[in-house]
Structure 1
C-alpha cells in the first residue's frame, strides 16, 4: 500500500507574547517574527489540523489521512479508544520570557466544561540558557484558602517550586499540577490533544495592544492539585541504539533512542509511532522510502508499519506511541 510511509507535516507556528527566535535560529524552522513561541508539529486540534508535506499524501490533512487509512494509521486499539481523533499533540516550544503560571484540567473536568480531553504532558529540554528554570508544582502542601490568599496578595510565586534545568532534562506534568516554562528554555512537548489551559498568574504583562491576558482564577480552583509531590522529574538511561524508557502513562509512552550507526527497529505495537529528533539528524527508512529527520523535525509512522530502519552518525530521538 503506497500510503504506508513515514509521514511529515508542515509546522503550524504560533506567535506568543513570551516567544522568541530559537525555533528559527536553533531549529532552522521557516518561522518569521520575533515572538514565535510554538511550532505545532502534529496536531488534530480543531482549527489547527496538520497538513502532510511529503510523499503521496502531500497536501492532505491529518483528518483526511485518518479517514483514508483508519486502523492502518492509528492502530485498532487506538481507534477503539479514541475514534478518528488523533490523541496526541506534538510541539516545540521557545520561551524567551517566562510563560504564565498555569495548569490543565483532568479528563473528567475537561469533558464536562469544554468537551475536550484533559492535558497530561511531558517536556524534554533541548537547550537552556544558563540559570534557566521551570516552575513545577508547589514547594509545600497548600490549602485552597491559602492559595487564594496568596493570589489576591500577588505573592503566589512564594508558594511555587523552581527547578533549574539543562539539556536532556525531562519532566512529566500531571493534570492539576501548577507549572510554567521559564525564560531561556527550548523544549519538545508531548501532550494529550487539548488546548485547554487555566492561566492563574501572568506577571501583569500586557500585549502589544496594551491588554492583559485573561486569567481563569475560578475555573482553576477545583482543578488544582494542592499537594507538593516530587513526581515530575523523569530519570532515564541513555544506552545507545535501544529504546530507553522515559514516560509511560495512559495517554502516551515515550522512549529516548540515541542512534549511532544503523538500527533495524521492530514496532511491535498496535499503535502509530511518532519520532521527534531532538539532536543531530536521522534517516528513517521503510522499504525503499527514505526520509531525513533533522533536529526539530517530527515524523509519524503508521501503525501498520512493523519495522523501520534508523540510520545516523549520532542522533537523539524521542519515540512516542500509545
Structure 2
C-alpha cells in the first residue's frame, strides 16, 4: 500500500489541444487531446498502477482485494467497492459544449448512475480566457426553451474570466462550459453522464453534428441565477488550506516551500494529491512516490501519516 501512481488515460476530443503535453508532459501524439483521466474506475476506463511492485494492477483490482484498506471503512459503507470520484486534467483549445449534469436522484432513475457534482482548479489560462457558469439572470423553463429555438442561448449565460489559481464549484443542474484557452484540474463524482445542450453547431471529423440532450436537460437544469460557484480559499504557505467540503469530496490547497508531515490517523478515507506546480516526494507508512506538475498519486486509507518532501510544490489534496 505504498503511494500509487497511475497511467494516464488520454482522451481525444473535438475541442482538445496540446497543453497536456506542452504544460504537463503527458505522452500525447496528436493535436486534439482534451482530457487525461488520472484516477478512474469508469467501465472501460479503469486506471492501472504505473509504479512499484504492483505496476500493471488495475485500481479496481486493488480495491477488490482489500476495500477498507484502500478506500476506508466509511467510504466502503457509502459506496461499496466503487471508487467514488473521477480525477482529470482538461485542456480546452476550443470552447467545450454548453452542458450540465443531473443530480443523484435523476441520474439514478435515468442512467443507474451517480450524478456529477464537480470542481475546477485553473492551472493555466490564455489572455481573455473565460468559463460559462450559470445564467446571468433568473430564467423560466419556457424562456430557456425559446432561446434554443431562436439561437439566443448565449445571451442568457454568465461568463467568468479566469486566471491561474481560480477555483469553481459546479453543482448538479448548473449550466456550464470550459472556454477556449483553459487548462484545469477537475475533481468530480464518478459519473460520465452529461447533458449537452448547445455545441456551437460544430461537426465531428465525420461531418456529423454531435448529439444534443435537449429534452433530458429541461428537467435537470437549475434556472435560477446563483453566485455560488466561485471558491474563495486561503493560500497560507506550508499548511493545509480548505477549499471545498461537500458530500462527495473534500479538497484542500497546499503550497509548500519546505517539508510537511500530515497525521492522518483519524482520516477514514483515501487521500489523493494532484500536483499543480513544482514537485514532491509523497511518503506514507509503506513507501514513497515522486510526482511533479501534472501527476497524481493515491495514498491508501490504511496510512497513518503522510510526509511531503519538497522545496517547492502546489498540491490539491482530495479526500472523501
Q: For this structure pair, what is the TM-score category when the shorter chain's length is used for normalisation?
A: over 0.9
What residue in structure 1 maps to residue 183 of structure 2?
186
* Pick aligned residue for 1:9 from 6, 9, 12: 6
Equivalences, count: 319
Q: Distance in 2 between matches of 1:145 and 1:277?
A: 44
- Name whichever of 31-40 and 258-267 sits farther off: 258-267
- Name whichever of 126-135 and 303-312 sits farther off: 303-312
Structure 1, residues 175-216: CA drift from partner, whole Å, max 9, x if none? 000000000000000000000000000000011111110000
- Name whichever of 281-290 and 294-303 sits farther off: 281-290
Matching of residues 171-210 of structure 1 within 5 Å: 171-210=168-207
Q: Distance in 1 between matches of 2:174 and 2:97?
A: 14
* Pick aligned residue for 2:297 from 296, 299, 322: 299
What residue in structure 2 maps to residue 253 of structure 1?
250
Check conservation: 1:260, 1:311, Cα contact below 8 A.
no
Note the C-alpha offset of 1:69. Answer: 2.0
Matching of residues 1-322 of structure 1 within 5 Å: 4-267=1-264, 268-287=266-285, 289-322=287-320
Q: Distance in 2 between matches of 1:246 and 1:127?
A: 19
SS in 2 for 1:116: coil
Note the C-alpha offset of 1:312. Answer: 1.3
Q: TM-score, normalised by structure 1?
A: 0.98
Q: What is the Cα-based RMSD across aligned positions, in Å?
A: 0.8
Q: TM-score, normalised by structure 2?
A: 0.99
Structure 1, residues 145-194: CA drift from partner, whole Å, max 9, x if none? 00000011111000000000000000000000000000000000000000
Check conservation: 2:284, 2:299, Cα contact below 8 A.
no
Note the C-alpha offset of 1:287. Answer: 4.2
Check conservation: 1:281, 1:292, Cα contact below 8 A.
yes
Check conservation: 2:284, 2:304, Cα contact below 8 A.
no
SS in 1 for 2:108: helix
SS in 2 for 1:280: strand
Q: Distance in 1 between matches of 2:40 and 2:29?
A: 20
SS in 2 for 1:72: helix
Note the C-alpha offset of 1:56. Answer: 2.0
- Name whichever of 227-236 and 263-272 sits farther off: 263-272
Note the C-alpha offset of 1:12. Answer: 0.2
Check conservation: 1:124, 1:170, Cα contact below 8 A.
yes
Structure 1 spans left out of the alignment, 5+ residues: none
- Name whichever of 84-93 and 260-269 sits farther off: 260-269
Q: Distance in 1 between matches of 2:186 and 2:226?
A: 21
Structure 2 spans left out of the alignment, 5+ residues: none
SS in 1 for 2:145: helix
